[in-house]
Each structure stands twice: as C-alpha cells, then as structure tokens.
Amino acid sequence: MDKISRYRRIIKNLLLKHAAYTADDREIEDVPVFDEKTDNYILSSLGWHSNNRRQHGYPIHIRIKNNKVWIEWDGTDQEIVQQLIDAGIPENDIVLGFEQPQEYLKAA
C-alpha cells in the first residue's frame, strides 16, 4: 500500500472512531465526511441540544496536501496529532495547519 493510501486509511479510521463516541447530548450526531478526490476528511457534528440550540460544526478537519497530513482544525481535547503518530504517520509528515506559519509572523 502506498503512503497516501495508508494515510487515508489511518485518517478515516480515526474519524470513524471519534464518530462512535457517545456524546453527552444524545441529539447530537457526529458524522464523518470523506472526500478522497480533494483529500479532505472532516468530522461533522450535527443536531439539536436539549435547550433548543442548533449544533452544526466541524470539530476535526484533516487533509492530505503535498504528501503530508494537515491538521486544519482540531476542536477536540483528544490529542489528534498523537493519535495519528501512534497509528503510524511520522511526526515530520504532520503539519499543524491551524498554527500561523513563521513567514507570516515575520511579515507582521
């Protein structure tokens, strides 16, 4: 299995695992969304809270770009990066897309 196929499998398994967690509010459903054409992998959180407030968000967004795994958003407390490393993705192939790159910090 090539590297990208392996990364896709690892990411999908991770999101499926997170979608299986039981939320405190049972009216909220976590739905994994996989798009291999653009290599975007999202965990979508949908439903209604018991106080009639709508939930629609994306606690996790991971994509594969330039042969690396980009964590575009991690709104969890689950240490997604460590879970990816533990599953076999090398740390040097993981990019924290939600952190501002150094070249942008220097220009400010």
Segment 43-77, tens digit of pLDDT: 999 888 778 888 888 999 999 999 999 999 998 88
CA angle 70, 76, 80 (to 5 degrees): 45
- Tens of pLDDT along 4-48? 999 999 999 999 999 987 555 568 888 999 999 999 999 999 888
pLDDT attached to residue 104: 52
Q: What value does the mean pLDDT of the chain take?
A: 87
In this predicted structure, the answer to whether residue 103 has a pLDDT above a threshold of 60 is no
pLDDT attached to residue 100: 66
Report the C-alpha gap between 97 and 61 in whole angstroms.
10
Domains of the chain: 3-107 (3.30.310.110)
